[in-house]
Amino acid sequence: MNFFNNLKSLSHLFPFLILLIFVSCAKEEVPKSSLVVKDNLLYKRDSDIPFTGREKAVVEDRMIEYDVKDGYKHGEFKIYYLDGTPEMIGLLDSNRNVGKWQYFHPNGKLESEGNFNYDIPDGRWFWFDSKGNKIEEGIFENGKRVGVWIQYDSLGKIIFEKNYDMEDTLNLAEDSTKTIQ
């Protein structure tokens, strides 16, 4: 009987325990960015010292997360849709894209993947539709399309091939090639 009397006396704590559990399980609230750009460097608002640290904030309906060193974006860089699905993941060095970058469709499937060398596409790149099917691949050399570029239909059948030479550029507006449909 003593156990039940003790339990009754603690019953007024149950609503607080439930509230505590609910609050501890709630999603982390991500603040709006507290950084500002001055002369291409990032600063905390009302500071004259370039920021160093990790920024995680909501910017233009996206969650953004990246490292900053002496005012420059440096290291891992991620942008997520508000539901937490990744939109873009890559590396930065002094505000420039370097190394492997991945871009994602809103459903989380990979949209494209390739490498940058200080903001310039370099190496083999791949593009995928929202179901995960490869739709295009090709090689960039110093930002220019080189070698054979291939486009695929949703079944993986080649629908277009072109061998680019060094005179062709990344500017698709100048490319007169048409896709076979």
Q: What is the CATH number of the domain that holds 53?
A: 3.90.930
51 assigned to some structural domain: yes
Give the pLDDT confidence score for residue 4 in this predicted structure.
Answer: 45
If one counts the domains in the chain, the total is 1
Beta-strand relationship, 72-81 and 144-152 = unpaired
pTM: 0.72
Neighbours of 179 (CB within 10 A): 9
Reported confidence tier of residue 38, pLDDT bands at 50, 70, 90:
confident
